[in-house]
């Protein structure tokens, strides 16, 4: 029998436990977590508190997008007293294969679950405007078979990581994008 999202959620670890056991981008992830503050007076947080929805995160700790997005989600969860739990994408690909992005296993993916464990909304792997920005930068990379590709790709990755960890406006963009995706569901259920 196919496992449901609720099964995965019930077996998953908390987002804070996941962050504590990170190996790859732990320091950067905690830097964002320590600096990001959820905007004040946001009806989104108040509605989340009332609705008590759960969020299932599909992630891996080597992922740069997860490194930036997960601490922001954790701040939302703490502000709204939500249960957010984490599964590793590669431990069981059946789950991610039900929630592909443009046919790929891109992460992180955040699944907003109702009280019965049904998926009400999906967010990820990137805020729309950040996706546009990253794809714009990626356009400048040489073809994958070019001799300078590896070096240029490395510089591209370093630039993205540096910006992800140092630009609060990107963190706010992630927050706003998660809010935009989940708010209609929360309002509908209120």
Quick: pLDDT tens for 86-113: 999 999 999 999 999 989 999 999 999 9
Task: Say which residues have a Cβ less than 8 Å from residue 50's Cβ, sequence separation at least 6.
Answer: 190
Which CATH number characterizes residue 71's domain? 3.40.30.10
The answer to the question of residue 147 being in a domain is no
Place of tokens 């759960």: 54
Count of structural domains within the chain: 1
Report pLDDT for 115: 85
Residue 114 lies in a domain: yes
Residue 67 lies in a domain: yes
| 132 assigned to some structural domain | no
**Average pLDDT over the chain, rounded to an integer:** 92
69 in any annotated domain: yes
Confirm whether 34 is domain-assigned: yes
pLDDT above 70 covers a percentage of the chain that reads 99
Tell me, what's the pLDDT at 70? Answer: 97
Within a domain: 99:
yes
**What's the domain range around 46?**
5-127+168-189
pLDDT above 60 (res 190): no
Please tell me the predicted confidence (pLDDT) of residue 188. 83
With bands split at pLDDT 50, 70 and 90, how would you rate the model's confidence at 52?
Answer: confident
In a domain, 44, yes or no: yes
Give backbone dihedrals phi and psi of 157, rounded to 5 degrees, phi first: -65, -40
Q: Which residues contact 105 (CB under 8 A, 6 or more apart)?
A: 89, 93, 96, 97
The pLDDT tens digits of the residues spanning 68-93 come to 999 999 999 999 999 999 999 999 99
pLDDT at 147: 94
For residues 158-182, give the mean pLDDT.
94
């Amino acid at each position: 029998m196919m496992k449901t999202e609720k099964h995965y959620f019930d077996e998953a670890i908390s987002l804070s436990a996941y962050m504590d056991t990170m190996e790859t981008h732990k320091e950067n992830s905690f830097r964002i977590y320590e600096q990001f503050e959820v905007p004040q007076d946001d009806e989104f947080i108040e509605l989340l508190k009332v609705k008590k929805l759960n969020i299932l995160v599909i992630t891996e700790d080597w992922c740069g997008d997860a490194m930036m997005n997960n601490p922001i989600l954790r701040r939302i969860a703490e502000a709204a007293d939500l249960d957010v739990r984490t599964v590793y994408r590669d431990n069981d690909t059946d789950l991610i294969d039900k929630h592909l992005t443009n046919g790929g296993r891109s992460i992180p993916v955040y699944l907003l679950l109702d009280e019965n464990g049904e998926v009400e909304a999906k967010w990820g792997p990137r805020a729309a405007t950040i996706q546009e920005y990253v794809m714009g930068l990626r356009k400048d990379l040489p073809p994958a078979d070019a001799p300078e590709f590896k070096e240029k790709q490395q510089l591209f990755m370093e630039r993205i990581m540096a910006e992800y960890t140092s630009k609060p406006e990107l963190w706010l963009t992630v927050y706003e994008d998660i809010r935009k995706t989940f708010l209609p569901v929360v309002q509908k259920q209120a």
